[in-house]
């Protein structure tokens, strides 16, 4: 993951634009993109600060609550595929793909071997 630009650079860009330089000239002078300078100015006018926002974080699982219980019940009941589980969830109003179902099952500790049943 990339690092944020230093606060000093961000503040210098804002000061240069406030002093009358164009955004394009400031971007070229500091060696950053024009969109960077524009976004810093937007953040500064909106919040009064040019500090970077949060990068990353926890994403809630898509398959949770009753949908999670339904998937686990289907797995315990017998022979199912990831695609059939995804289709069943779509029928229940939750549109996900097979990879999302696989990630949920992996989080739950379920494994599939071709020569054995679900564990």
pTM for this entry: 0.53
pLDDT of residue 115: 57
Q: What is the CATH number of the domain that holds 76?
A: 1.10.10
Average confidence (pLDDT) per 10 residues, the chain, 119 residues: 88 97 97 96 95 86 94 88 94 94 92 60
Residue 35 domain flag: yes
Spatial contact of 7 and 13, defined as CB atoms under 8 Å apart: no
Domain of residue 104, residue span: 58-119
Q: Is residue 11 part of a domain?
A: yes
Quick one: tokens of 7? 């606060």
Give the DSSP letter string of 28-77.
HHHTS-HHHHHHHHHHHHHHS-------------SS-THHHHHHHHHHHH
Is 29 domain-assigned?
yes
Give exposure, 66-81, as e/b (b: 16+ Cβ within 10 Å): ebeebbeeebeeeebe
């Amino acid at each position: 993951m990339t690092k944020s630009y230093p606060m000093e650079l961000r503040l210098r860009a804002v000061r240069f634009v406030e002093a009358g330089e164009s955004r394009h000239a400031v971007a070229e002078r500091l060696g950053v993109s024009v969109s960077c300078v524009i976004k810093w100015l937007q953040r500064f006018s909106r919040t009064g600060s040019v500090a970077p926002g949060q990068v990353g974080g926890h994403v809630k699982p898509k398959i949770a609550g009753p949908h999670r219980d339904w998937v686990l019940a289907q797995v315990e009941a017998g022979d199912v595929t990831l695609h059939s589980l995804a289709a069943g969830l779509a029928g229940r109003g939750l549109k996900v793909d097979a990879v999302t179902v696989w990630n949920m099952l992996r989080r739950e500790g379920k494994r599939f071997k071709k020569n054995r049943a679900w564990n």
